[in-house]
Structure 1
Amino acid sequence: MKFTNKEVLIFDLDGTLIDSVPDLALSINQMLKALNMSAFSTEVIRSWVGNGAEVLTKRALSGNIEINPELDPSFVTKALTIFLDFYEKNVCVDTSVYPHVKATLESLYSSGYRLMIVTNKPEQFVRPILEKLGLNNLFEIVVGGDSLPKRKPDPMQLEYVCDKLSVAPSKCLMIGDSKNDIFAATAANMESIGLTYGYNHGEDINTHGASLVLESFADILGSLEPTTVVAR
């Protein structure tokens, strides 16, 4: 299928544009070490990423993707503070851009599409990462996981972007790697692209109702019919 009349492209960040797991894993293990707890492999931590910093912290403290309901809230708060402090110091050390992402984004931007980021990552980390990876000037709006009262899979972040730009959801397209992205788009009456790589906790992205599923980020270019957007 091809999408028509799209003006605004909204991208998830972690697992969609960038692989941030190496730095997240390093910071989580530094947190666990500070709390005298056992560390985990990068690949185990990779399976926990995708629902924001607090959920990642809870999973690490639980030692499992299923969060221990008996975790002490004050202990979680302490651990989260330690994690975020470590992550701030290591926010873009080994984080990398996925193949074809930069060239595709630059092509979309040059074609006149308005590019946004909606992520569950705390907002304070997003622009520094984009800046270091040479992507910052491409995005008009960044909405983080703590920017609003609710985050994906709730549609609030996407609705905020539509309101901010005075653009109907039908003119927007959500692009992400996890069910949170797809569910948020569906709830916002927005079409979506699901990407097969990234962080979806081992689940098949095809099962979550995306309008289109792609294996390569570069294929986004071929999924868009020419529109009235004005090339820059």
Structure 2
Amino acid sequence: MMKNDPGTVVFDLDGTLADTAADLIAAANACFRARGLGDLLDARHDTGIAFHGGRAMLRAGYGRAGADRLIPPGAEDEDYPRLLAFYDGCIARSTTLYPGVTAALEALAADGFILSVCTNKPGALAEKLLRALGIRDRFAAMVAADTLPVRKPDPRCYAAAVERAGGTVARSFLVGDTETDLRTARASGVRVALVGFGPEGDGVARLAPDAVLAGFEALPALARGWLRPLG
């Protein structure tokens, strides 16, 4: 462990820092419309599907197309790059940061903590979104879906997000919103706080994380408690 390591807070992106569901679903629906299937996902009711990724949205939509609408073999592989292209064009149209994100990041930085991002979003899209939201410069590093040959919940992704930011895994924790984030933290041997304001609300408590965040205003104090100064 490095001396004077201030501690690192690692964030998931979609569903944790920002509510991206509407723009993700719009991109999936564009793929469905291109096949003559209409809008198969709903921006209000299918947010949980959206936060599981593009392929999950495509599979869910195909499953709703109806037995009379034949989905050709390989449709998911064909439509996934199209979905990413559609999404690139509307990446921050409806997306917003969750309340309190900016203030929490400022408070964590003022306390000296290192901040990083570990996401299963493709890197170019994650970079573009964080810049559009005005918070990219808050993070010392980012590891995305295509940064390494593996993705979350593989602990190598988390370790890279911490170490590339200049921290050590032993003095870090993860903030996320899904079971994937919880599994990432458990595989990495670190604590995890899941947000209680995503699609599942405080139902994420069923996953037994180390903490459930009711709002970002609680995060700085949590970080101080979990990453006490060395010595």
* Interval containing the TM-score (normalised by the shorter chain): 0.7 to 0.9
Conserved 8 A contact 1:6-1:172: no
Q: Where do 1:126-141 residues align within 5 Å?
A: 126-141=126-141
* In structure 2, C-alpha distance between the alignment counterparts of 1:63 and 1:148, rounded to whole Å: 33
- Map residues 42-81 of structure 1 onto 2, 5 A cutoff: 42-63=43-64, 74-81=74-81
Alpha-carbon offset, residue 72 of structure 1: 5.7
Per-residue CA deviations over 1:120-149 (Å, capped at 9, x if unaligned) read 111111111111111011011111123222
Task: Give, in angstroms, the shift of residue 73 of structure 1.
Answer: 5.7
Q: Deviations over 1:8-47 (max 9, x none)?
A: 0000111111011111121111111011113132123313
Residue equivalent to 2:149: 149
Mapping 1:25-44, distance limit 5 Å: 25-39=25-39, 40-44=41-45
User: Paired residue for 1:206?
Assistant: 205
Alignment size in residue pairs: 219
User: Superposition pairs for residues 1-232 of structure 1, below 5 Å?
Assistant: 7-39=7-39, 40-63=41-64, 74-165=74-165, 167-200=167-200, 204-225=203-224, 227-228=228-229
Q: Which runs of 5+ in 2 are unaligned?
A: 66-70
Structure 1's unaligned 5+ residue stretches are: 65-70
Q: Deviations over 1:143-195 (max 9, x none)?
A: 11232222223323112224435644220110011111111101110111111
SS of 2:28 mapped into structure 1: helix
Q: Considering Cα pairs closer than 8 Å and 6+ residues apart, tell me whether 1 or 2 has the greater RCO.
A: 1
Distance 1:51 1:203 in 2: 18
Please tell me whether the aligned partners of residues 121 and 144 of structure 1 are also in contact (alpha carbons under 8 angstroms).
yes
* TM-score, normalised relative to structure 1: 0.85
Q: Does the CA-based 8 Å contact 1:12-1:175 persist in structure 2?
A: yes
Q: Per-residue deviation at 1:7?
A: 0.6
User: CA-atom RMSD, angstroms?
Assistant: 2.4
Over 3 Å counting, the alpha-carbon distance change for 1:34 and 1:181 in structure 2 is same
Deviation at 1:83, TM superposition (A): 0.8
- Classify the secondary structure of the residue corresponding to 2:198: coil
